[in-house]
Structure 1
């Protein structure tokens, strides 16, 4: 078995430290992007729901601005967003290369996606529950925390799982422009140097991260749904 592995993956065997480092970089980018974009995405998602026409804090102007801004940013391909935010990234981080620099476009690109997912999840809540809370004199802030976020928790977790999977895919794309991680390893070594086994292993590791995140989210959803 060992002989087969060495024969099938000769280039992978030669760079175990690089593969481990690339995996840690992908996890680093995914974690911090999911954390920061998750917090801001939930905030914007809730804001979209409560300010929309008929919402508990209806503000047509605010809703239209947020809605259009999210649509515009979501429409920009991520690879182009990387280039558009290069100046901002250099200003904030001091460089446009590496996993820390990749966090800026990753967060900016993921926030509108997650915010829209949160909006959709919260809109699935029975309006009767919200009306009942209002009839009981619950404040808008109380409705947000006790109704929207509490009743919509399963939907929020599902949206979070979908977003994390999307984030892992975006880190691989960011790797194509020097952000580091498994995507960079697959391109710089696997593709550019014709080391197909490296590309294969990098892809498999990305899939493993996706499956793990999906498995964990399914456990959480199962637990909070009972």
Structure 2
């Protein structure tokens, strides 16, 4: 019996995971593997570890999580904890925070896209593939936001299609520092920055989208950001 999910949810999660074409190995970075939350700087690390353990069990090994502390994960350079780093080739699609509420669905579906392929239209895939300039896409979200999962789901697929694009969904309530830097008043809020500024929290954005716009319009924002980035090279 699951401590987190009712029987119907367990059944649906198991259906999704067991139908994956290949097994996946995500990384979960928390403050302490043995005593999550002990640093006093990661209030949701215990819940994140429990979630990872539950999903590993429910999926019957189809989705596993390598749980690391910050020191062990330094090669991955997570900017926040908890950090769910999905099993893409370059580990370039990430979720920072506890994926609860509305954010739980894209957290689950990203595994389908990695295993079985994205569900974007062919034209969109081709446009995303054509982006050659590396960039850093930050999507600020909250668990109650009804439009955030649409944007996160789309951007997750963008990162899967094009490894030049580092995609991070950031739970703004858990990690308010950078959201405050960008004066985020509405979510979803997308900030696109230079990949060279990865370690700069609140780095000057190349493009921002303060609020929801349809995914097809986000492609144009990405292409516009690339044009601006090329001018600075």
TM bracket, shorter-chain basis:
under 0.3
As a proportion of its length, which structure holds more strand?
A: 2
User: TM-score, normalization: structure 2?
Assistant: 0.25
Say which structure, 1 or 2, has more relative contact order (CA 8 Å, 6+ apart). 1
Which protein is bigger by CA-based radius of gyration?
1
